[in-house]
Amino acid sequence: MTVTPDAVGLAHHARTCPDKPALIVGDARVSYARLNARVNQLARALRRVGVGPGSGVAAVLHNSVEWFELLNAVGKIGAQLVPVGYRLKAPEIAYMITDSGARVIIGAADLRTEIDRAVDDLGGPDRALWTVGADTPWRGRAYEDVLADESEDEPAEAHVGGGFNVLMYTSGTTGRPKGIDRAVDPSAAHLTLLGIANLWGLDATDVHLVAGPLYHTASRMPRWANRCWRWSSCAPGHRRRRQT
């Protein structure tokens, strides 16, 4: 069976089943049409600041809608996602950003203490930090403002996406974390997506429960596959621990 790139992927699902939930994160439900529109805005914004094939974008985020948006946006423009664990401290965050060459950092407001220290250590411009959260931006640019400046239309020469171009870092138990490049040819990503979906016997009725942190590779694998078969992902929303 021959399957062309335009027969799978987020943009295809946004056209064929626009109202179907693509994500359920906490109390939020995001349809395929809405997710694709925001992914397009983010992809355009990243391109506007020079992110392209081979460029890195660091994610210092909890499990969230924005995490999925970034995962798909970098895939559409052939860039590379650099997942950063939200439990890491500033020296580790700064090292991973420097080592990966990430051009943009997208960080959660409630992780600001370690993000601030890392950005200060790096000495980079604040505009390279895009901040997510209701009380942003404390520095850098507000993520929602960045998206609001862009069109929801599909970017020119967009790929299927799906988040296969990811630079993963090891735990660093024997020294510094090591970056593991898992790059996949963006023009052939749909073949890998189909392979995973067929291997696991997935179809459009399935729902994937994300039960781990998205910076870990095991939590993301099924999410990539739903780019093929229009199934939904459910990720428990991050909730701040109440101080007593």
| CATH number assigned to the domain comprising residue 95 | 3.40.50.980
* Residue pLDDT, tens place only, 150-189: 999 999 988 877 656 888 888 766 777 788 876 667 667 6
* Residue pLDDT, tens place only, 54-76: 899 999 999 899 999 999 999 89
Question: How far is 191 from 218, CA to CA, in rounded Å?
Answer: 20
Q: Is residue 243 part of a domain?
A: no
pLDDT at 219 over 80: no
Which is more confidently placed, 95 or 231? 95
Q: Is residue 174 part of a domain?
A: yes
Question: According to the model, what pLDDT value does residue 214 have?
Answer: 83
Q: Which residue has the tokens 């992914």?
A: 39
pLDDT at 228 over 50: no
The percentage of the chain sitting over the pLDDT mark of 70, rounded to a whole number, equals 78
Q: Is residue 114 part of a domain?
A: yes
Q: Is residue 241 part of a domain?
A: no
Q: Is residue 244 part of a domain?
A: no
Q: Is residue 30 part of a domain?
A: yes
pLDDT at 239 over 80: no
Counting the structural domains of the chain, the total is: 1
Write down the pTM of the prediction.
0.85
Contacts 24+ apart (CB under 8 A), 198-206: 200/225, 202/226, 202/228, 202/229, 202/231, 203/229, 203/231, 204/17, 204/229, 204/230, 204/231, 205/231, 206/231, 206/232
Q: Which domain holds residue 111?
A: 5-235
Contacts 24+ apart (CB under 8 A), 13-20: 13/227, 13/230, 16/230, 17/204, 17/230, 20/230, 20/232
Q: Is residue 118 part of a domain?
A: yes
Q: Is residue 155 part of a domain?
A: yes
Q: Which residue has the tokens 């355009």?
A: 44
